[in-house]
Structure 1
Amino acid sequence: MQTSPHVVRDVMTRAVVAVGRDAPFKDIVRLMERWKVSALPVLEGEGRVIGVVSEADLLPKEEFRDGDPDRFTQRQRLSDLAKAGALTAEELMSSPAVTVHGNTTLAEAARIMARRNVKRLPVIDAEGKLDGVVSRSDLLKVFLRDDEDLTEEVRRGFVDRLFPLPADHIRVEVFEGVVTLTGWVDGAELMPVAERPARAVEGIVDVRCQLTGAIGTQ
């Protein structure tokens, strides 16, 4: 059974469509349409990632197709204007590429996507060569884990870790990704932190902590 934390190599797509530096504009558009992707890694040599060309890199050609922009726009969008006249992947690509390694956690990959406003990240090996691609939809795969799998991991990660002796006074139930913890704990001081290990399990949607302190505890 796969346990948390999951890493990028657990969910990434390994069969990746990529282009070289000299790939023509229209070939890039055709590949994106054919493979239903919004970005393509740009490779050189034996597969080293040197950039990424995305739909956003292609759109200026259409945006500025029917006229010259005013001077304000010219000053503010020099990069986009250059891409409007680009013909190859090398001229279009964003470089250096925003990449991750296979051992990057899914949480960190999600943060990188959010900060850099990208939908897909090339996954590279130690030499910078393309190993796969991870997308937003890939990061959501952890929420496909079944309730039985989640129940087992919550019990091992929460109950067995905090209570090394058999803890049959704590019940773990998961339904549709929502875990409910019921029963009692030996000390009331454990209650505020009781749900943290359960919430850290990837695939959990929410935690409902209904634990109480044992009789006689403060």
Structure 2
Amino acid sequence: MHHRPPHLVSDVMTRRVVALGRTATYKDIVKAMRQWNVSALPVLEEENRVIGVVSEADLLRKQEFRDADPDDRYARLEQLANLAKAGTVTAEELMTAPAVTVTANATLGQAARTMARAKVKRLPVVSDEDTLLGVVSRSDLLKVFLRDDEDIAEEIRLEIVARLFPAPLEPIRVEVRDGVVKVTGRVRDTTLVPIVTRLVRGVDGVVDVDCALLGPPRLPNLDPDLPVDDVTRPPWGAGSIT
């Protein structure tokens, strides 16, 4: 049975990318961002290698310090780096380097974690040689959640349920609605239920999981009027060890 690999950055990234050269001017950068409706642009050197990224935040530092009170400019030592950027005019001077990038064969989860740690909305996608291949954005990472519900359910049935429970006590049902998965049925080994939940959460397009798998049914009490202790404990003197 073939296991479907997770979606990769190469599956969802935008391949048509606008990039800057080292000498791009401040005004050229602003025009490019406005024309292409993006908030950041990669900066390239020879052979299209990514050396940095210029973001709106980098550009706004120039405006931020233009009207600042001179007495406040040096209030905190960490502002010096920002103040230096505020007086620059080219992409090489404005850019944040080294660039935070992601490889094309990274999973969507890895890309999302990189974005969260770096607090950015877009990442340049590079090859192993740091050559620019594309750009991936937050909206690109969310594309997997547009996946069809039945497609998600079929993957869970074939790749998870059938593998873990080849002979369930009763048929296991997998239902998906708007990305929310519900798994019901009875299985012989309930220690596998947490594993099912974890694996289902890792399926592309899954929003949430309700794993309601049950174990074997309890044996019926043949004499419901008899107290449980009297059934399970032998009477005194009947086979008791003294």
Q: What is the SS of the residue equivalent to 1:73?
A: coil
Q: Which runs of 5+ in 1 are unaligned?
A: none
**Which residue number in structure 2 is paired with residue 63 of structure 1?**
64
Distance 1:101 1:118 in 2: 16
Question: Taking every aligned residue pair, what percent have the same amino acid on both sides?
Answer: 61
Match of 1:177 in 2: 179
Amino acid at match of 2:38: V
Counterpart for residue 51 of structure 2:
50
Q: Which amino acid aligns with 2:132?
A: L
Q: Which moved more, 1:80-89 or 1:183-192?
A: 183-192
- 1:166, distance to aligned residue in structure 2 (A): 7.9
**Aligned twin of 2:140:** 138
Q: How many residues align?
A: 216
Greater C-alpha Rg:
2
Q: Which SS does the other structure have where 1:182 is aligned?
A: strand
Name the amino acid aligned to 1:50. I
Aligned with residue 105 of structure 1, among 107, 110, 113: 107
Structure with higher RCO (Cα < 8 A, 6+ apart): 1
Match of 1:149 in 2: 151
- The structure in which a higher percent of residues are strand is 1
Amino acid in the other structure paired with 2:7 = H
Match of 1:17 in 2: 18
TM-score of the superposition, structure 1-length normalised? 0.92
**After the TM superposition, which residues 1-218 of structure 1 pair with which residues of structure 2 at under 5 Å, given as runs?**
3-67=4-68, 68=70, 70=72, 72-73=74-75, 75-165=77-167, 169-216=171-218
| SS of corresponding position for 1:123 | strand
In the alignment, the residues of structure 2 paired with residue 134 and residue 200 of structure 1 have an alpha-carbon distance, to the nearest angstrom, of 20
| TM-score calculated relative to the size of structure 2 | 0.84
SS in structure 2 at match of 1:46: helix
Deviation at 1:168, TM superposition (A): 6.5
Matched with 2:237 is none
Q: CA deviation at 1:113?
A: 0.8
Query: In angstroms, what is the RMSD of aligned CA positions?
Result: 1.9
